[in-house]
Amino acid sequence: MMPEKTYTKKGMLIVLSGPSGTGKDTILKKIVSKDQALNLSVSATTRHPREGETNGKDYHFMDEKTFLNMAKDGNFLEYVKYCGNYYGTPLSAIDGLLDKEEDVILEIEIDGGCQVKKRCPESVSIFVVPPSIDVLKQRILNRGISNVNNMEDRLKTAEKELKFAHKYDYIVVNDDLEKCVSNILSIINSERMKSSRVKCITNEVF
Amino acid sequence: MMPEKTYTKKGMLIVLSGPSGTGKDTILKKIVSKDQALNLSVSATTRHPREGETNGKDYHFMDEKTFLNMAKDGNFLEYVKYCGNYYGTPLSAIDGLLDKEEDVILEIEIDGGCQVKKRCPESVSIFVVPPSIDVLKQRILNRGISNVNNMEDRLKTAEKELKFAHKYDYIVVNDDLEKCVSNILSIINSERMKSSRVKCITNEVF
């Protein structure tokens, strides 16, 4: 059973999602390098490591039995099955940081993003979209997918996923990478000034 | 009677308030000069024009009878009596702009700010605070108020007003003017990316 934990008055939980081909990975790396106060949460997965991936840095790699046991014990904030593999956010990876009032950013699939919003309404969710279908097509082609069926599948999936954009708090267009990164940093900066997050100003300031 | 007008799906209404001595006037001028998409709403008042003030630019100056008739006819978004004079936001000054999906910024007293939030929950309210009591004292002194009682009155008022900070959406500290202005611009920029304000992305983008 999922524990009924909430994150009131602690660090800020930021969720970044978007259809594949929108450049989320690159965006995330830039954001974390520019905002030193942000902690990147490392997901757990049952998929095999790709070349160059490091356990504990890119993902916590684990077998299905371990993953499902953790899920049964309520040790994930969210988890989803995607293309035959499980992906999840271990509570242990974020709980300690949020308790210490540190901010944490997660890049997760849209299903997982919607789960997080339900469990933590105070989380800040950001949906990245491509500027147009043509740009998305080009980005998918640049990744080496030339097969027409595969392309059509990817585009259909993207179209379905875009329908979830309005379930997120913010929608950011990735037209120009630097502008997109600066817009997301601006959202995070503003959210830190939300009065619900600023401690009792009358006692602190005066 | 106040008309039950709401501002859904139109331009964004931004409200700026804070105790006197926090530098709101200077901040507002800088914001409007840096964000060309922002329209400054001109308030109506029954107080006499000060030297250098222009009717229609600094305020719409009017007599009490005219003001109270407008109020009776529901022609103000909000109005308050402050130090013996009336101040209000004429609906005519903002309605046309919001209808055209243009953003409008108002600098108003805290009472008025709370009225606007009630009538337009979608408005974005920003409360500016001084970094400390010492800085506030110094700013009031710089304005030429050397009388001790007057200073004490001003500080007591400021203390009362600060208790309303948490009724606003955002709290911004005016420690460094440029930083404060950039933080407010960042809030306005982020609010424009709120998914509730971004039009149906699936139809527009794809």
Question: How many angstroms away from the CA of A199 is the closest CA of chain B?
Answer: 9
CATH 3.40.50.170, domain B13-205, yes or no: no
Question: How many angstroms away from the CA of B82 is the closest CA of chain A?
Answer: 23
> Which distant-in-sequence residues (6+ apart) come within 8 Å of B87 by Cβ?
B43, B44, B45, B47, B79, B80, B81, B108, B109, B112
What is residue B146's predicted lDDT score, i.e. its pLDDT? 57
Cβ distance B170 to A159 less than 8 Å, yes or no, reads no
What is residue B6's predicted lDDT score, i.e. its pLDDT? 38
**Chain B residues closer than 8 Å to A133 by CB:** 205-206
pLDDT tens-digit readout, A15-40: 999 988 788 889 999 999 999 999 99
Pairing of strands A76-82, A85-90: antiparallel
DSSP per-residue codes, chain B = -------TTS--EEEEE--TTS-HHHHHHHHHHH-TTEEEPPPEESSPPPTT--BTTTBEE--HHHHHHHHHTT-EEEEEEETTEEEEEEHHHHHHHHHTT-EEEEE--HHHHHHHHHH-TTSEEEEEE-S-HHHHHHHHHHTT---HHHHHHHHHHHHHHHTTGGGSSEEEE-SSHHHHHHHHHHHHHHHHTBTTTS--HHHHH-
Cβ distance B201 to A169 less than 8 Å, yes or no, reads no
CATH class of A13-40+102-205: alpha beta
> Which distant-in-sequence residues (6+ apart) come within 8 Å of B118 by Cβ?
none
What are A68's two structure tokens?
Answer: 């499902």
Mean pLDDT of B60-74: 96
**Chain A residues closer than 8 Å to B129 by CB:** 201, 205
What is residue B169's predicted lDDT score, i.e. its pLDDT? 97
Question: How many angstroms away from the CA of B50 is the closest CA of chain A?
Answer: 32
**Chain A residues closer than 8 Å to B12 by CB:** none
Return the higher-pLDDT residue of A141 and B18: B18
What is residue A25's predicted lDDT score, i.e. its pLDDT? 86
Mean pLDDT of A188-203: 82
Map out the domains of chain A as residue ranges. 13-40+102-205
Return the higher-pLDDT residue of A97 and B155: A97
Check whether B36 has a pLDDT greater than 70. Answer: yes
Residue A142's SS3 state is helix
Return the higher-pLDDT residue of A152 and A56: A56
Q: Hey, what amino acid is at A12?
A: M
Give Cα B82 distance to the centre of its chain.
Answer: 15
pLDDT-based confidence at B131, cuts 50/70/90? Answer: confident
Cβ distance A193 to B202 less than 8 Å, yes or no, reads no
pLDDT tens-digit readout, A121-178: 999 999 999 888 788 888 877 776 556 667 788 888 888 888 899 999 999 999 999 9
A189: nearest CB among B159, B186, B198 = B186
B198: nearest CB among A171, A186, A196 = A171
What is residue A126's predicted lDDT score, i.e. its pLDDT? 98
A95-109, A125-139, A152-166, B192-206: lowest mean pLDDT where?
B192-206
Check whether B148 has a pLDDT greater than 70. Answer: no
pLDDT-based confidence at B193, cuts 50/70/90? Answer: very high
Q: State the ipTM, two decimals.
A: 0.87
What is residue A10's predicted lDDT score, i.e. its pLDDT? 78
* CB of A39 closer than 8 Å to CB of A148: no
A35-44, A111-120, A172-181, B19-28: lowest mean pLDDT where?
B19-28
Q: Which residue of B has its CA nearest to A134?
A: B206
Cβ distance B131 to A205 less than 8 Å, yes or no, reads yes
pTM summary value: 0.87
Q: Which residue of A has its CA nearest to B130?
A: A205
Check whether A9 has a pLDDT greater than 60. Answer: no
pLDDT-based confidence at B2, cuts 50/70/90? Answer: very low
pLDDT-based confidence at B140, cuts 50/70/90? Answer: confident
Return the higher-pLDDT residue of B8 and A160: A160
B195: nearest CB among A132, A166, A198 = A166
